[in-house]
Structure 1
Amino acid sequence: MHIFVLDHHPLMSEMLVMLLHRIHAQAHVVTAHTFKQLNALIDKYEEADVVIMEPQSIGCLGPLSVAHIAERLPHSKIIVITDANLDETNNRYLQNGAHHVISKKDKINKITTTLQEILHPQSLNVNSSLIKVDILKISKRHRQLINMLGQGYSNSQIAERLDISEHTVKVHFYRLYKILGVSSRLQALNFAKSNGWLVDPMNA
């Protein structure tokens, strides 16, 4: 499966790539941050199974840009993901060629489930249960690490504050990444933000 992702915000773009690989591990996902870059991807690859686009990205003209992509890729499934009010914009996007509209304001689990329903419905039950189990495995120590990560602490600073070795910090992060299905501090932090895990460290 070939998927193009257009979103001007690097964190959101990275989160979408992470979710797509969780849903469909073999998917080939290519990102763009401007409408011009998305069109360049179409010029290069000529086709895609799915296009996920934020129509407020740089160079986009809302529903008109959706219509343009729908015309260029008539056989692709187009998913709009936006933080605009869906009550006001949903129909305009659908009328201009989008197949689905997703709100960025939804929690990550809802976005994941919606993408699963659209892209890989046969994996829905399996992946949803895995996500629930993963969340249950988050320990108090992991939550401390996540909150310190959210405050911008380095590994050495975390080790000093928790009175543990820097190697132990790295081991904790390695285990945390495996639980969340991510591969970087940025992805772990974005996952935590989306799930409302960032709290006052004194209460962690």
Structure 2
Amino acid sequence: MKALIVDGEELIRLSLKEVISVSSNFGEVMEAGSQHEFLAKTASHDKLSLIVIHPTSLGADGTDCLRLVQRLYPDAAVVAIMDREGQNIGDTGNIVTVLRNASVGQMVTAIRRALKLPLDGFGSVANKPSRPDVRGALKHEFERFSENTASSRPAIEGVDLGRLSYRQKQILAMAADGLPNKEIAARLSIAEGTVKAHMHAIFKVLGVSNRTQAVIRYGAVGNASQKPGAHSDWAYAAAS
């Protein structure tokens, strides 16, 4: 079976992958962080057993993406993640809904209900499953990325942190704290689109393709350039 997670937040997708893995026997769990990425997945995957989607994390595209899910995969089990009780996302049909702050057990139950799988004999996992090993997954990502950067130390040392503006360092520090773009924008009193533009600019400067790698590389470069007794740019940004 194949599953697809459609959620605008990378760390949430990482956590959901672990939850889905204990929910049933999936051979592949894919991710899409935007409607564009979702459409790219549909081009090469015509059969999906499960789609877990958080419409509002995709901004204005969220409702359209949910409609596309129902249209393109009418036979797939769909779990829609809601921000609050009674939230209106249009005609949910056979979609199973679950709150964003649901426990792991509640999420597992929702997924198995959407898949029309019995909970009998699965109660111990549904009621109290082991927590998804998010920390372990992040550690693996860190180790993998560290190995890559260690083998290209000249490239790391060639990164010019001075090309990052003070605002970009603020945004990267907040991203490292796990804040979504929407909250970063609210705290800095700027548009969410501006935050996204800054993040893309940060990726280019640091030579990475996602948030996790950006945070790791920024920290690695800052520590590598830090002089004894001096504060690194990373520490400065984190304290801002």
Residue 121 of structure 2 corresponds to: 126
Alignment-derived partner of residue 182 in structure 1:
133
Supply the distance in 1 between the matched residues of 2:100 and 2:134 (Cα, whole angstroms). Answer: 22
Shift of 1:77: 2.5
Question: 2:105, 2:128 within 8 Å by CA — same for their partners in 1?
Answer: no
Mapping for residues 1-204 of structure 1, pairs under 5 Å: 1-58=1-58, 60-83=60-83, 85-89=84-88, 92-94=90-92, 99-119=95-115, 121-122=117-118, 124-130=119-125, 180=131, 182=133, 184-185=135-136
The answer as to whether partners of 1:113 and 1:128 remain within 8 angstroms in 2 is no
Which TM-score applies when normalising by structure 1? 0.57
Preserved contact between residue 48 and residue 76 of structure 2 (Cα < 8 Å): yes
Amino acid at match of 1:56: T
Q: Separation in 2 of the partners of 1:120 and 1:89?
A: 24
Deviation at 1:186, TM superposition (A): 5.0
Aligned equivalents of 1:111, 1:187: Cα separation in 2 = 21
The Cα shift of 1:9 comes to: 1.1
**Measured at CA, do residues 131 and 3 of structure 1 come closer, stay the same or move farther in structure 2, by a change above 3 Å?**
closer
d(CA) in 1 for partners of 2:131 and 2:59? 34
* Kept after mapping to 2: 8 A contact 1:15/1:187: no
Which segments of 5 or more consecutive residues in structure 1 lack a partner in the other structure? 135-178, 189-204
Report the alpha carbon displacement of residue 37 of structure 1 after superposing the two structures with TM.
Answer: 0.4
Calculate percent identity across the aligned residue pairs: 14
What residue is the counterpart of 2:167 in the other structure?
A: none
Runs of at least 5 residues in structure 2 that lack an aligned partner in the other structure: 140-240
Contact conserved, 1:6 with 1:34, CA < 8 A, in 2? Answer: yes
Q: Map Cα deviations across residues 89-132 of structure 1 (whole Å, 9 max, x no partner).
A: 15x241xx56222111222222222222222633x243431476
Q: Which amino acid aligns with 1:116?
A: R
The equivalent of 1:155 in structure 2 is none
Q: TM-score, normalised by structure 2?
A: 0.49
Correspondence for 1:138: none
Higher-RCO chain (CA-CA 8 Å, sequence separation at least 6): 1
Deviation at 1:33, TM superposition (A): 0.8
Once the two structures are TM-superposed, the CA of residue 63 in structure 1 deviates from its matched residue by 2.8
> Deviations along 1:15-64, whole A, 9 cap, x unmatched?
11111111113342111111110111001112212211111233653333
Distance 1:116 1:77, change over 3 A: closer
Say whether the 8 Å CA contact 1:66–1:93 is kept in structure 2. no
CA RMSD of aligned residues (A): 2.9
Corresponding residue pairs, total:
139
What is the CA–CA distance in structure 1 between the aligned matches of 2:131 and 2:101, rounded to whole Å? 21
Q: Rg bigger for which structure?
A: 2
